[in-house]
Amino acid sequence: MAHRLLRDHEADGWERSDFPIICESCLGDSPYVRMTRAEYDKECKICTRPFTVFRWRPGRDARYKKSEICQTCSKLKNVCQVCLLDLEYGLPVQVRDTALSIDSNDAIPKSDVNREYLAEEHDCKARAGIDYESSYGKARPNDTILKLQRTTPYYKRNRAHFCSFYIRGECTRGAECPYRHEMPVTGELSQQNIKDRYYGVNDPVALKLLGKAGEMSSLEALEDESIKTLYVGGLDARVTEQDLRDNFYAHGEIESIKMVLQRACAFVT
C-alpha cells in the first residue's frame, strides 16, 4: 500500500468524490449530517483501489458509518457504498437479482486483477461520456420485488454495536456506555461476508427474504367489508370485460366492471 501512495493520484485515475453514494438508511434521519472526507484513505473492499472515504454519524444514538466500497463498484451493482444494499429497493443484491432475473455475475470479474481492470475501464468510459451498460436500469420491477422492497428507511440498522462487556455481565458504565446493552441474537444472519453480499452469493439474509416472498404469494382477504371495488392493473390489450367477469364471478356477485383501456387497468366492483 505504501508504495502506491507515492504515485501520482491523477495518473492512477483513483477516485475523488464530494459526496458518497449512499442509501437513506445509512444517511440517517438528521437533516444536518457532518461528514469527514479523506481522499485515497482506504482500499475499496471489492476492487482494492484506493478511494475517497466518508465518515459520519447518522443520528444521535447511531454508530459511525463509513463508505466501504468505491463509487465505481457501487455504480456497477447499483448499491449503497456502506451497506451494499440496492439503492432503489433497499434489498440485498442476491434478492434483487433473483427477483428481477438478472444474471450479472458473469459480467463482473472476480479476480483482483480483472476487477481492477474493469473498474478502470468503467471510469474511462464515464470520463468519455459513454454510459455504462448496466442491466439494473433496464429491468422492470415485478410483483416479487415490489412486495419485498423496503419503502421507508430502516434507521434501526444504524444502532450502536452490542457492548461486549455487558454481554459478559461486566460493563460498569451504565447509561453512559455508548454501546448497546442488549443480548445479541446470534445466528447465521449476523455472519456476512462483504464480497458475497456484493456479488449476491451465499447471502443468508437473501435466502430468508426470498423464502418470505414465496409465502406471501397468496392475497390476504380484505378486513374492511365495505370496500368492494378492486383495482386490476397491468392488463393485456386482449383482455375483455367478459374475461374479467369469468375470472371474478367465483368471488361474489359482480356489480360493475369499468375498464380503462388507455391505462391497461380495470375496476371490478
Output 108 or 244, the one with its CB closest to Zn ion: 108
> If binding is defined by CB under 5 A, does position 44 make contact with Zn ion?
yes
| One of 14, 15, 28, 46 touching Zn ion (CB under 5 A) | 46
> If binding is defined by CB under 5 A, does position 83 make contact with Zn ion?
yes
> If binding is defined by CB under 5 A, does position 27 make contact with Zn ion?
no
Other Cβ atoms closer than 10 A to 159: 14
Question: How do 257-260 and 230-232 pair as beta strands?
Answer: unpaired
Cβ pair 76, 93 in contact under 8 A = no
Select the span of 33-41, 73-81, 200-208, 236-244 touching Zn ion (CB under 5 A). Answer: 73-81
> Cα–Cα distance between 220 and 152 in angstroms, integer?
22
> If binding is defined by CB under 5 A, does position 73 make contact with Zn ion?
yes
> Cα–Cα distance between 165 and 115 in angstroms, integer?
40
Rounded to a whole number of angstroms, the minimum distance from the CB of residue 143 to Zn ion is 25
Rounded to a whole number of angstroms, the minimum distance from the CB of residue 162 to Zn ion is 9
Residues in the chain: 269
What cell was used for 112?
483482483
Rounded to a whole number of angstroms, the minimum distance from the CB of residue 136 to Zn ion is 16
Nearest to 23 by CA among 70, 73, 91: 91
> Cα–Cα distance between 112 and 119 in angstroms, integer?
10
| One of 53, 62, 76, 80 touching Zn ion (CB under 5 A) | 80
| One of 53, 70, 206, 244 touching Zn ion (CB under 5 A) | 70
Interface contacts to Zn ion, rule CB under 5 A: 23, 26, 44, 46-47, 70, 73, 80, 82-83, 163, 166, 171, 177, 179
